[in-house]
Amino acid sequence: MRMSPEAAGRTAHARSGVRRTGSRTAEAGLRWLLVLWRDLCLAAGMAGRGKLIAVIGDEDTVTGFLLGGIGELNKNRHPNFLVVEKDTTINEIEDTFRQFLHRDDIGIILINQYIAEMVRHALDAHQHSIPAVLEIPSKEHPYDAAKDSILRRARGMFTAEDLR
């Protein structure tokens, strides 16, 4: 059936519209694929590199563990350590601790036990296996197993009813 010139023109325009819409959809799909590929590469890179060990402690504890080689500090990322001094507020400690908890590139957080006491509520609320939180002694405050969150949870497992 022969088409009128106007109909042919409308059909051609409609087809080009479909092509434009189709190409826009393909473009969006390709962009999404590229973003996904970039994220996968980043994740693989991070997985290949391994996780970090963070430390929150007094000057000697942080200096010692940084000597051990755990420190990371560059322009783009926040440091994975915090030196707690006399004028460091509890809010700063808690904010830093929560930041470390939310970072997915930190596997272990080392924290002096006397500092952990200041943010005990945040430690007790952390139930995930990663990052693991390890309480370590400080020079003025030796390690007390009774205060450790993990050991308190293990000790509180058994009630009188469970042992009956």
Partner 1 sequence: MAAPDLRAELDSLLLQLLGDLEELEGKRAVLNTRVEEGWLSLAKARYAMGAKSVGPLQYASHMEPQVCLHTSEAQEGLQKFKVVRAGVHTPEEVGPGEAALRRRKGPAKTPEPQSSEAPQDPLNWFGILVPHSLRQAQASFRDGLQLAADIASLQNRIDWGRNQIRGLQKKLKQLEPGAA
Q: Which of residues 99-118 bind partner 1 (CB under 8 A)?
A: 107-108, 110
- Assigned token pair, 135: 């309480």
Determine if 26 is a binding residue for partner 1 (CB under 8 A): no
SS3 (DSSP) at 8: helix
Determine if 73 is a binding residue for partner 1 (CB under 8 A): yes
Please count the residues of this chain forming the interface with partner 1, following the rule CB under 8 A: 44
Nearer to partner 1, 22 or 64 (CB): 64
Q: Please report the sign of the dihedral spanned by the C-alpha atoms of residue 23, residue 29, residue 35, residue 40.
A: negative
Which of 98, 99, 134, 147 binds partner 1 (CB under 8 A)? It is 134
CA angle, residues 83, 142, 105, in degrees to nearest 5: 40
Which residue, among 101, 164, 98, has the nearest Cα to 132 in the 3D structure?
101
Least Å distance, CB 136 to partner 1, is 6
Rounded Cα distance between 22 and 101, Å, is 44
Which of 56, 62, 93, 118 binds partner 1 (CB under 8 A)? It is 62
Which of 27, 39, 59, 104 binds partner 1 (CB under 8 A)? It is 59
